[in-house]
Amino acid sequence: MKIKTESWHYRLVNRFSEMIWIDNFCPYMRRLTLILALMVFVGPSVLYGMIEMAVLVIMGKGHMAWLNTETVFGIYSVICQVLGLAAWIIGIVFGAVHLFLYVGGKVNNYLDNNDAWQARQYKKAHKQMRHEPNIFMQWCKARHDQICPLVEFVSEEKTE
């Protein structure tokens, strides 16, 4: 089985884990589904914590106002508040850095007479659409056939 290095799932798995030990399709899909599950469950919890922290600050109670650890929801609420506070701090720093880079990029584009934008437009106009099989359908077929095919990571060669 060949997996392109430009595919969304390869880039997602490669961002969170090393790909040097993966030579089989099954561990690759286990990592992909674990990452997607964490994104589905941890992401909303952090978002809930961020909203809860904002509501508590607006109400004037400060952070960690509801330290009710007697129930499961109270413990979950405290964990979400800690994650939400961390997310606010990281988000503010990340946003400031990206704002600085965005403004710097706009100035750079203006000074370069928009050469980068023209190059992107040329690349978009000459890009060919290639459809690859769905990774989840391939995984279902492999599980149905009770095989784990070997994985080969290939990158598209650029032709000009």
131 phi and psi angles, rounded to 5 deg: -100, 130
Flag whether 160 is in a domain: no
Contact at 8 Å (CB) between 117 and 109?
A: yes
In a domain, 22, yes or no: yes
- pLDDT of 129 over the 60 cut: no
Residues 70-124 have pLDDT tens digits of 666 677 777 777 777 788 888 889 889 989 888 887 777 666 666 666 777 677 7
Residue at 159 is within a domain: no
pLDDT value of residue 63: 54
Residue 140 reports pLDDT greater than 80? yes
Which of 64, 91, 86, 93 has its CA nearest to residue 77?
64
DSSP state of 3: E
Range of the structural domain that residue 99 is part of = 2-154
What local confidence, expressed as pLDDT, does residue 117 receive? 65
Number of domains in the chain: 1
Q: Tell me, what's the pLDDT at 114?
A: 65
Query: What is the predicted pLDDT for the residue at 131?
Result: 66
- Whether 23 is covered by a domain: the verdict is yes
Q: Can you give the pLDDT at residue 101?
A: 86
Query: Would residue 48 count as lying in a domain?
Result: yes
Q: Which long-range contacts (CB under 8 A, 24 or more apart) does 23-28 make?
A: 23/150, 23/151, 24/148, 24/149, 24/150, 24/151, 25/1, 25/138, 25/139, 25/142, 25/148, 25/149, 25/150, 25/151, 26/142, 26/148, 28/3, 28/151
Residue of higher predicted confidence among 65 and 149: 149
158: confidence class by pLDDT, cuts 50, 70, 90: low
> What is the CA 83 to chain-centroid distance, rounded?
17
**Would you say residue 146 lies in a domain?**
yes
Cα 7–Cα 10–Cα 12 angle in degrees, nearest 5: 105
What's the pLDDT at 135? 84
Residue at 44 is within a domain: yes
Task: Give the separation between CA 74 and CA 66, rounded to whole angstroms.
Answer: 8
Domain assignment of residue 69, yes or no: yes
Which residue in the block uniquely carries the two structure tokens 């710097």?
Answer: 104
| Residue range 26-84, pLDDT digits in tens | 888 888 898 888 888 877 888 888 787 777 777 776 555 556 666 666 777 777 777 77
